[in-house]
Amino acid sequence: MLQLQDVTKTYHRQASNVVGLEDCSLRVKPGEFVSVQGPSGCGKSTLLLVAGALLRPDRGRVMLDGTDPYASPPEERARLRAKTIGFVFQQFHLLPYLSVLDNVLAAVLAQPLNGARDRAMELIEHVGLSHRLEHVPSELSTGERQRVALARAMLNRPRMLLADEPTGNLDPASGTVVLQYLADFADAGGVVLLVTHDQRAAEYAGRVVYMAEGRLLDASPAEAAS
C-alpha cells in the first residue's frame, strides 16, 4: 500500500542545508499500524509529508497503492490524495464557525461524495459525538475536537490514515481513545502511519519504527547502544 525507497529530502537554508530525510526506506501493508517515534527535529513530520504526496523528495521513490504520486501532475496527485489518504494533525485544523457536522463535511467541499451527509452522520456517531452535532469547535473539549478531525479524515473512505502527533494536545484518556480508533481502522484493513512522541502508541501499533537525524533505524537508539 505504501512504499518509500531510499528517500532523501534536504531543506536548503541561506546559512546551511538541513537534512530532513536520508536514504529512508519503509514498506507498510494493508492492515498495518506503524508508529514512527523519535525526538523533535529527527524527520518524522517530513517523512509523513513525503509519504502523503505533499512534499516531493530530492531522491528516492514513493509508491501509493502501486502509483508514484510524484510522477503525476499536481491535479492528479491531489485526486490521488483525496481518494487514498486521510490526514489527522495535532492542531485539528477545524473551521471555527462551522458545526461538527459541517466540519466533517468540509472534507468533500472540493470533491463531492454521494451520500456524504449520511456517511458524516455515521462517522460522527462512530466517534461518539452525535450529541454534539450542531456544536462549534470552541464548545468542544480537545479530545472531542480530535475525534471530529478523525471523522473528517475518514469521510472519503481512505485506505490510509497519516497521523502527525494526534495525541499531542490531549489528556491521557482522550489520547487513548484516538489511538484505539486508529487501531480499529488498521484492524479493518486500512493502513495507519503515525508519527508521535507518545510512548503509549507502541501498545496499539503493530510495529514501531525509530528515527534519528533523518534516518530510520532498525532499533531504538537505546537498544542500538546496548
State the average pLDDT for the chain.
86
Per-residue pLDDT tens over the stretch 98-127: 999 999 998 777 566 678 888 899 999 988
The pLDDT of residue 225 = 46
Q: How confident is the model at residue 42 (pLDDT cuts 50, 70, 90)?
A: confident
Answer whether residue 226 shows pLDDT above 50.
no
Per-residue pLDDT tens over the stretch 10-34: 888 777 777 788 899 999 999 999 9
Answer whether residue 222 shows pLDDT above 70.
no
The pLDDT of residue 117 = 87
pTM of the model: 0.86
CATH topology of domain 2-93+158-225: Rossmann fold (3.40.50)
The pLDDT of residue 26 = 92
Per-residue pLDDT tens over the stretch 78-93: 888 888 888 888 888 8
The pLDDT of residue 18 = 79
Answer whether residue 220 shows pLDDT above 60.
no
The pLDDT of residue 62 = 92
Q: Cβ neighbours of residue 10 under 8 Å, at least 6 residues apart?
A: 17, 18, 19, 20, 58
Q: How confident is the model at residue 97 (pLDDT cuts 50, 70, 90)?
A: very high
